[in-house]
A and B are shown apart, each in its own frame.
Chain A
Amino acid sequence: MNKRFFIGIAISLVFYGVVQALISGEILNDFYIDTLVMLGVNIILAVSLNLINGFTGQFSIGHAGFMSIGAYVSAIMTTNLGYSFPLGLLCGCLAAAVAGLIIGFPTLRLKGDYLAIATLGFGEIIRIVWLNNDYVGGAAGLNGIERVTNWSWIFFGVLVAVVVIQNIVKSTHGRAMISVRENEIAAEAMGINVTKYKVIAFVVGAFFAGMAGAFSAHYFYGIAPTSYNFMKSFEILVFVVLGGLGSTAGTIIGTILLTLLFTYLQDIPEWRMVIYSMILILTMIFRPKGLLGNVDVTKFFKKGGASKNGGTTTTP
């Protein structure tokens, strides 16, 4: 907790106040509020996936599964059982975290592609569970969920997710996670409990994915299993990869760019996927590590800057 941290918080609170004033003054219409909520949900998803994929180096593509757990559990709590939204939100997050723990232990022995396939399978299993369960509406999903999520919820949700994950990453635990990404055997030889840190990354990542799921469920009135298929997992992965694996700032920027692009391209549906894909291909050619891959933006604000050693990295 240093000066820069509080300045960052202060600036984001000012941003929050300005947007809130614009919403209260009805200067921002529903379209903009929809977009802001989408942005917030996507940022939470991407930043939490970045903890698993970017910092800890585990290739997970089951994030939509954790998101759906948060969405369904919170919606069941509020809509079916009549509890308050904060309690539903908390239960959604915790249920997703528990799922992260359950899937974590058996699958984290797997590496690379094998882990990717296992997490993909996990995401699909969760979706099939919702699809075949009449209590949660089967294929039609749960409808009539009250709209509770607003700019305040989304803003503070994003703030908590970013602050918590940044603090983990900058702590000794974060160091240990990055060392697992860099070289698992060396990390283990240093006495770092590799499995423990992988599981922590999975549990924290899943917790926030659940939070994003609960927010989106309580904004768009209804949820259905199809919203959480593997395409959704890939969409989140693309945000992270385009922004830069292992860079929180890059992930946020990548998510904002792609979400806005996707929203504005809705006017030309026939070209939407073409342009979207072209941008992804070009980014990967010219910035293979993502927009801000491995660049620690905070270094630019430190004395002396990052010009010397911080920016570029070469892996032999």
Chain B
Amino acid sequence: MLSVKDINVYYGAIHALKGVSFEIKGGEIVTLIGANGAGKSTILKTISGLLKPKSGTIEFAGQPIHGKVAQEIVKRGMSHCPEGRRVFANMSVEENLELGAFLRNDKKGIAEDLESVYVRFPRLRERSKQMAGTLSGGEQQMLAMGRALMARPKLLLLDEPSMGLAPLLVREIFNIVQEINKSGTTVLLVEQNANMALSIAHRAYVIETGKIVLAGAAQELASSDEIKKAYLGG
């Protein structure tokens, strides 16, 4: 579904991604794990068109998308749920969700998807008229995910959905990610919480200073000594 080949991304003079290549097959959950500043979020931003790679190719559903602007990539069925939640604080929950479907014109489909987001996140229905800025951290994360789903994506990019949440909530969010995946959406998950990410993913890539240093099935990586030492705390 997505194939990234040898991309190089720079922030000014800083070489942030050094020849990153990986791929995602339809129906998978793939996770990118790594420490702060390794380049995980940069990879997501490059795929979704918020950043432009200097070289390399990105193909989505067989079509090259590198160098395309974000709205064209969203239109092709990829939705990016950015890091740090970033809800529209002074808009209601419902308005936030409606903006997730900004590029769609099928009113009926949008109404159906709004309903299914409310079924998946009952909290959001309770608070649909409330300003998004008044929600708790966990609710804002659910809203950000719901908003990304409103684009009816084939591929969902999730950037650190566990950031700043209590362990119990993290569990809940990850369960929801799994459910979303089971209902047919491919997921690319970026996480610092490697333990949690590896427990739900099919495959994983480990990023270090802008390079992919390890790749494999999530379960294998979770049991490898190297990973345990570096990312799983023992």
Contact = CB atoms under 8 A, between A and B. Distances in A.
A186 B90 contact: no
A309 B147 contact: no
Interface string A170-214: 001001101100110111111111000000000000000000000
Contacts of B170: none
Contacts of B129: 308-309
A316 interface: yes
A179 B133 contact: no
A176 B86 contact: no
A309 B90 contact: no
A179 B48 CA distance: 18
A313 interface: yes
B71 A183 contact: no
Contacts of B70: 188-189, 191
A244 to B, nearest CB: 12
B99 A315 contact: no
Contact of A191 (B95, B102, B131): B102
Interface range, A side: 20 to 34
Contact of B86 (A186, A308, A309, A316): A186
Interface centre among B69, B88, B91 (most CB of A within 10 A): B88
Contacts of A316: 89, 133
Contact of B99 (A175, A193, A294): A175
Interface stretch (B8-16, B75-83, B219-227): B75-83
Interface string B101-132: 01100000000000000000000000001110
B95 A175 contact: yes
B92 A309 contact: yes
A190 B90 contact: no
Contacts of A178: 88, 90-91
Contacts of A175: 95, 98-99, 102
A57 to B, nearest CB: 10
B65 interface: no
B35 interface: no
A315 B90 contact: yes
Contacts of A315: 89-90, 133
B87 interface: yes
A192 B102 contact: yes
B133 A191 contact: no
A314 interface: yes
Contacts of B80: 189
Contact of B82 (A176, A186, A192, A294): A186
B133 A193 contact: no
Nearest to B75: A191
Given A176-B102, A315-B133, A316-B133, A191 B151 contact: yes
Nearest to B70: A188
A185 B70 CA distance: 10
Nearest to A191: B74
B86 A179 contact: no
B89 A182 contact: yes
Interface string B210-224: 000000000000000
Interface string B126-151: 00011101100000000010011001
Interface in B43-81: 48, 50, 69-71, 73-75, 79-81
Nearest to B127: A309
B34 interface: no
B74 A186 contact: no
A191 B134 CA distance: 25
Contacts of B92: 309
B133 A190 contact: no
A176 B101 CA distance: 11
Interface string A298-316: 0000000000110001111
Nearest to A316: B133
A187 B82 CA distance: 10
A182 B70 CA distance: 18
B88 A183 contact: yes
Nearest to A192: B102
B82 A189 contact: yes
A141 B130 CA distance: 53
Contacts of A246: 90
Contact of A183 (B86, B102, B151): B86
Contacts of A191: 70-71, 73-75, 102-103, 151
Nearest 7 CB-CB pairings of A with B: A191-B74, A182-B88, A186-B86, A191-B71, A189-B80, A191-B103, A183-B86
Given A183-B87, A186-B144, A187-B99, 13 more contacts: A175-B98, A178-B91, A179-B88, A182-B90, A189-B48, A189-B80, A190-B99, A191-B102, A192-B71, A192-B102, A246-B90, A313-B131, A313-B134
13 contacts: A175-B98, A178-B88, A182-B89, A186-B86, A186-B144, A188-B50, A189-B50, A189-B82, A190-B74, A192-B102, A308-B129, A309-B131, A315-B89
Interface of B: 48, 50, 69-71, 73-75, 79-82, 86-92, 95, 98-100, 102-103, 129-131, 133-134, 144, 147-148, 151
